[in-house]
Amino acid sequence: MLKPKLLKFALHEIKGPIRSNDMRLLSVVYPLCLPMMGFFTVLCPFPSDLVLEKPAEQYVFGGGPASVQLTIRNLGPPKEFSRLTHRLYQASSATIAPVEPAREFPPRVLGDGIFSLEFSPPAVRTITGFIVKVFDEGSEIGAVPVHVCPTNLFQNVSNLAKHVAIFDSERHLPELLEKHGVEFQNLLESGAGEAELLLVKLTSAKDEEIWRARRIAPQVPTAYIVGWGVTSSEKILPVKFSNAHGHPSVIVQDWFVPNLNVSAGSQVRLLHTLELLLKPELVKLPEPDKPSN
């Protein structure tokens, strides 16, 4: 901020010598302007050299500690990230309201400008939209959209199929379904019975050998969750097809649903996939763009 002597010099260089009357007027007006200049500095903070890269939407469970990952790039001289803060807001159609006080950035960094921010979203009954905003000395540099999910999210499988049969030699699927109170038949212990949905998890080539040795011909819609040992190393999105009996089936690579038992995002993606498999009429696809005139 310019002092009176420096301001006098600057004006002299721009407009020529300052008359004594002008200087007397300036000495009176300048102190009165100082509070106003500070006021506008607070309202309009200087832009930050830090930029938050556009993050993907993230899913977490409510009612406990959670975290999101984001990447921040520094477009200016080296700076300390310790001055950054973040705050959780609940988003609705009308307002964005803060949920908890602002928090300082964590001291640890996951990579080059990659942070893991911790916060505590409230418990929810349905998937609810929130926003994590990031600030640099009071100036917002970006926001991360977050969907907070109920902890009993995977109970929704029962709404898609009342009878479920599973095949999983690692017992990850049985643990997940038992945790959420979903009834099922384990094909490693019994037959499929009156199953309306078959979940098959084949992590390795050995799992595939065990599955094929049982010579189970799926008579119902089937979702295959497969690992690199079963398919090629190329990543593909879920593929829907009809099996030999004409029932819809889908192949999901395990990179699409990692850490399924504890990841809210993986459970949401698998539920959407099963919904598309069993009840495609419930899936809302984006409307096509209207042709321009």
CATH number, domain of 82, equals: 2.60.40.2840
Range of the domain at 201: 153-282
Residue spans of the chain under pLDDT 50: 1-45, 288-293
**pLDDT tens digits, 111-154:** 667 888 888 899 999 999 999 999 988 888 889 999 999 999 99
159 and 144 in a common domain: no
136 and 199 in a common domain: no
The pTM for the full model equals 0.74
CA distance 241 to 78: 53
208 and 231 in a common domain: yes
67 and 112 in a common domain: yes
142 Rama sector, left if φ>0, alpha if ψ -120 to 50, beta otherwise: left
Q: What is the pLDDT of residue 95?
A: 63
- Name the domain boundary from 132, 149, 166: 149
81 and 157 in a common domain: no
Which residues neighbour 34 within 8 Å (Cβ) at sequence distance 6 or greater? 1
φ, ψ for residue 241, nearest 5 deg: -155, 175
For residue 247, give the nearest of 184, 195, 185 by alpha carbon: 195
φ, ψ for residue 68, nearest 5 deg: -130, 155
Q: What is the pLDDT of residue 175?
A: 93
184 and 277 in a common domain: yes
Q: What is the pLDDT of residue 22?
A: 46
Dihedral, 221, 226, 232, 233 alpha carbons, nearest 10: 140
